[in-house]
Structure 1
Amino acid sequence: MRLAELGFATPSTLLARYGLRLERVDLGLPIPGSFWGDEEAGIIGTTVYARDDTPVHSLLHEAGHLIVLPEERRESVHTDATDSIDEEDATCYLQIVLADELPGVGRQRLMTDMDAWGYSFRLGSTRAWFEQDAANARQWLFARGLLDEGGAAVFG
């Protein structure tokens, strides 16, 4: 699913709940702060950059990177948020949970898109990882107040 299908209003509102801003980039222009290039979302400071052709999973992943960082580290981010395995796992988990906040997306659709893009988990699929192998990520997010006891997102 691409942002053109979803629109920018709902994701902008979701990101704002964490003190982040979503900036729309015109089609054909490079996306600032994009780690992967092409249509993939980018991050610089507290801004997530995306185009109409940006996949929703990419937007949520890059936003997730900023959300899991302590606020004092966010401003210094440019393109690559972390090399921490714990933060990467937490980001993947959080992007799945946040998909439920976007009408027409939801976690099942997002996990399918993540698999199609090529996310790699040792159990073979995003869903298997999320349901059977992500206790460390869930606990990491809970300990930092980003998930409640039921596993729902807590907004900043």
Structure 2
Amino acid sequence: MDFGVMEALLARFDLALHRVPDGVPIPGSFWGDPEAGVIAHNVYVRSDTPVHSMLHEACHLIVLTPEKRALVHTDATDSDIEEDATCYLQVVLADELPGVGRARLMADMDAWGYSFRMGSTEAWMAQDADDARSWLAERGLPH
């Protein structure tokens, strides 16, 4: 992925994307390298960080109020609906990344091991994500 494109996408939500040198531990990574990390309004990635990981961690920050965002270090969620909204939003935003799109992102999510009641990310988005979509809409976030 083009770092500048990802950086511009996150900047729309007042987030800063930081490139971590290869081989250096990623600050704020909940799952460990090479997964993205979050600290306050900052998202950290390396060249080997999966795009779905960058989007997921960024979306955790996007769904939070600025006050809650400021307190984040590594673990960004405290509710099921925030997690669901994060998963939904990352798929929506994937369409804004050239060469990614929602189909690829949902396949990457499934391959990584995201699990949903409907058996796949695509089925969850189509059949069981109304609560996440509504939650995002109520907050004026893309849905």
Same fold (TM over 0.5): yes
Displacement of 1:72: 1.4
Q: Which residue of 2 aligns with 1:54?
A: 49
Structure 1 residue aligned with 2:117: 122
Q: Which residue of 1 aligns with 2:130?
A: 135
- CA deviations 1:99-150 (Å, max 9, x no partner) are 0010000000000000000000011100000111100000000001103xxx
Q: Offset of 1:7 from its aligned partner?
A: 2.1
Deviates further, 71-80 or 103-112: 71-80
Amino acid at match of 2:29: S
Structure 1 position 11 matched with structure 2 position 6? yes
Alpha-carbon shift at residue 75 of structure 1 (Å): 1.1
Aligned-residue offset at 1:83: 2.1
Per the alignment, residue 31 of structure 2 pairs with: 36
Residue deviations 1:30-80 (CA, integer Å, cap 9, x gap): 000000002000000100000000000000000000000001111110000
What percent of counterpart residues are identical? Answer: 69
Amino acid corresponding to residue 81 of structure 1 in structure 2: A
Secondary structure in 1 matching 2:44: strand
Matched residue of 2:78: which SS? coil
Counterpart code for 1:129: W
- Number of residue pairs the alignment of both structures matches: 143
Q: Distance in 1 between matches of 2:71 and 2:10?
A: 18
State whether structure 2 residue 97 is matched by structure 1 residue 111. Answer: no
Which residue among 144, 151, 155 is the counterpart of 2:139? 144
- Secondary structure in structure 2 of the residue aligned to 1:33: coil
5+ long unaligned stretches in structure 1? 1-5, 152-156
Separation of aligned partners in 2, 1:7 and 1:80: 26
TM-score (norm 1): 0.90
- Deviations for 1:4-25, whole angstroms, at most 9, x for unmatched residues? xx12110000000000000000
Q: RMSD of aligned C-alpha atoms?
A: 0.6
